[in-house]
Copies of this chain bind each other. A is one copy, B any other.
Amino acid sequence: MYRTHTCGELRLTDAGKTVTLSGWVQRVRKMGGMTFIDLRDRYGITQLVFNQETDAALCDRANKMGREFVLQATGTVGERFSKNDKMPTGDIEITVTELRVLNEALTPPFTIEEHTDGGDDLRMKYRYLDLRREPVRRNLELRHKFCLETRRYLDSEGFLEIETPVLVGSTPEGARDFIVPSRMNPGSFYALPQSPQTLKQLLMVAGMDKYFQIVKCFRDEDLRADRQPEFTQIDCEMSFVEQDDIIRVFEGLTKHLFRTVRGTDLGDTPFLRLSWEECMRRFGSDKPDMRFGMEFVELADVLKGTGDFGVFNSAAYIGGICVPGCASYTRKQLDELTAFVRSPQIGAKGLVYARVADDGTVKSSVDKFYSPETLAALKEKMQATAGDLILIMSGDEANRTRKQLCELRLLMGGRLGLRDKNKFALLWVVDFPMFEWSDEQQRLMAMHHPFTAPKPEDVPLLDTDPASVKANAYDMVCNGVEVGGGSIRIHDAVLQAKIFDILGFTPEQAQAQFGFLMNAFKYGAPPHGGLAYGLDRFVSLFAGLDSIRDVIAFPKNNAGRDVMLDAPAPVAQAQLDELQIALAPAEPQQP
């Protein structure tokens, strides 16, 4: 037996017991004639003590233990002389009588501490050492608990977890698929699922009624900072439901998770629901951060045509936010804000500001174009008071400008400390448009996905004005992050065919790609709908992290590489031959 206890469980009440612990050397300290070793495992740290006077040989051995050596120590639990109230085992120590080195360790390339000196690349290469650090380990413990409570709750609601296959067919609509050559079917390929969307719909046709799965999904996309080629969804689907039924169940799940996993009580009131249009109008985003106000005020009636400022006079949209207490911003600070909205990521032309002085007067960057009365009307409209800073943007296309103003709002909210990671503001965004226009593809694209049902009252518009059709789609948003989203699905083969038509599929293409689903719909498909949560993102919100990477045991870097495993890598020619494929390096691009 390697241990009688873990390194996290001994207390003063255990004093006098003979115990055996196993773990890693966190640190070795020599003080006078004593040597102290902090021994660490997943459960905590316990102090081992060695006395030069009582056992010089053992103490000498203890002095030679390096960081991260794996030790087994037997000894007696005693009360500590100087207690450490920062750790649960801080009242006791083990006076060691036997010490065994279970394994030696090279000096790790970075410190195994809460705040490590290791950079990101090094931490990823030696991820098995990084995971020894408490904050990273805590994230995985949180994820475990999050998944377990998800399963408990959904099971109690009658959901069945059903595994869907990982080797499926390629469906080019959506993101790019990872594909897998089939040796037994040469020239053919499996694809890894971007989500089990169609499979869970087939499970509804199969009468499974309530399905969920915590499941890996795969997208071969160019990775932005916080995307992973493989990620995990909590994927759910229900039959014989309307939007309200689904919202009720998953609001319940969400409250359960906050309460049991994070100790946060979200109360009994239902989450706020806002239409997509209202979100865009008030916050310039379909995932507004509701932890703070600073809502958009539309200013066309105050500023358009009321002065000589041509930019506003020709704008399709003028909107402002009122930033409390920032009238003291210097010219330099304001120039920085202007530079921010002009940056390529935001792409605005400029920024107008107006400060409300202590005496209530308004000083703006467009003073010369507007009368003091207009500026007073602006202040009134913005409900600004002394010390406030008004920031105004305008543009040709309302929603584009709103999105830009949204970025500014989030920036200012952050500066004012209004985006507290321990505060949670949840809402449902509903009534999404069914389609959005793609300039690139020159066609309507599904805003959610092609299986989303239009609102029944909008079905006639599919023939006359499809762009105006609203969908029975909903997103759950937390702190400005879309944590989940879903929709009521189409369960009628004829309506599904019409949607494919609007999306530019020929009947043959639709049949080739989604025939299995449309055929299934002919055999008695029930009304159904569902939702999927992004697990990595949701857990990282619970953990207060900006990145999803540290809630994943072995993440990939931005080039899709696992630098620890050194994957992907070339394979043997024999493997390619068996699969009847060959490398075909692209011609180098013309410079």
Pick from A127-135, A282-290, A470-478 the stretch touching chain B. Answer: A127-135
Is B568 within 8 A of A190, CB to CB? yes
Is A209 within 8 A of B41, CB to CB? yes
Pick from A103-111, A271-279, A360-368, A455-463 the stretch touching chain B. Answer: A103-111
Cα distance, A1 to B245, chains bound together (Å): 8
Is A169 within 8 A of B568, CB to CB? yes
A295 at the interface (CB under 8 A from B): no
A86 to chain B, nearest CB (A): 20
A568: chain B residues at CB < 8 Å are: 167, 169, 180, 182, 185, 188-190
Q: Which of B69, B148, B582 is A524 in contact with, Cβ under 8 Å?
A: B69
Cα distance, A572 to B566, chains bound together (Å): 29
A24 at the interface (CB under 8 A from B): yes
Contact residues of A between 209 and 263, Cβ < 8 Å to B:
209-210, 216, 218, 220, 222-223, 229-230, 232, 240-242, 245
Whether A559 contacts B240 in the complex (CB less than 8 A), given A179-B180, A523-B68, comes out as no
A165 at the interface (CB under 8 A from B): yes
A215 to chain B, nearest CB (A): 9
Is B167 within 8 A of A527, CB to CB? no
A522 at the interface (CB under 8 A from B): yes
Interface centre among A70, A130, A560 (most CB of B within 10 A): A70
Is A527 within 8 A of B102, CB to CB? yes
Cα distance, A103 to B489, chains bound together (Å): 14
Pick from A137-145, A341-349, A406-414 the stretch touching chain B. Answer: A137-145
Is A553 within 8 A of B190, CB to CB? no
Complex copy number for this chain? 2
Q: Mark each residue of chain A from 541 to 570: 1 if its CB lies under 8 Å from any CB of chain B, else 0.
A: 000000000001110100111101111111
A374: chain B residues at CB < 8 Å are: none
A120 at the interface (CB under 8 A from B): no
Is A169 within 8 A of B131, CB to CB? no
Cα distance, A580 to B160, chains bound together (Å): 41
A208: chain B residues at CB < 8 Å are: 42, 131, 137, 140
A569: chain B residues at CB < 8 Å are: 169-170, 188-189
A440 at the interface (CB under 8 A from B): no
Is B578 within 8 A of A581, CB to CB? no
Q: Mark each residue of chain A from 93 to 129: 1 if its CB lies under 8 Å from any CB of chain B, else 0.
A: 0000000001111101000000000000000001111
Is B207 within 8 A of A24, CB to CB? yes
A370 at the interface (CB under 8 A from B): no
Q: Which residue of chain B is the closest to A130 with respect to CB atoms?
A: B206
Is B186 within 8 A of A162, CB to CB? no
Is A230 within 8 A of B554, CB to CB? no
Pick from A197-205, A315-323, A377-385, A496-504 the stretch touching chain B. Answer: A197-205
Is B188 within 8 A of A516, CB to CB? no
A591 at the interface (CB under 8 A from B): no
A373 at the interface (CB under 8 A from B): no
A187 at the interface (CB under 8 A from B): yes
Interface centre among A179, A241, A561 (most CB of B within 10 A): A179
Is A1 within 8 A of B180, CB to CB? no
Given contacts A69-B524, A137-B207, A180-B192, 15 further A-B contacts (CB under 8 A): A127-B202, A128-B205, A131-B203, A140-B162, A165-B556, A165-B562, A167-B560, A169-B562, A170-B571, A179-B181, A181-B181, A182-B560, A184-B220, A187-B585, A581-B584
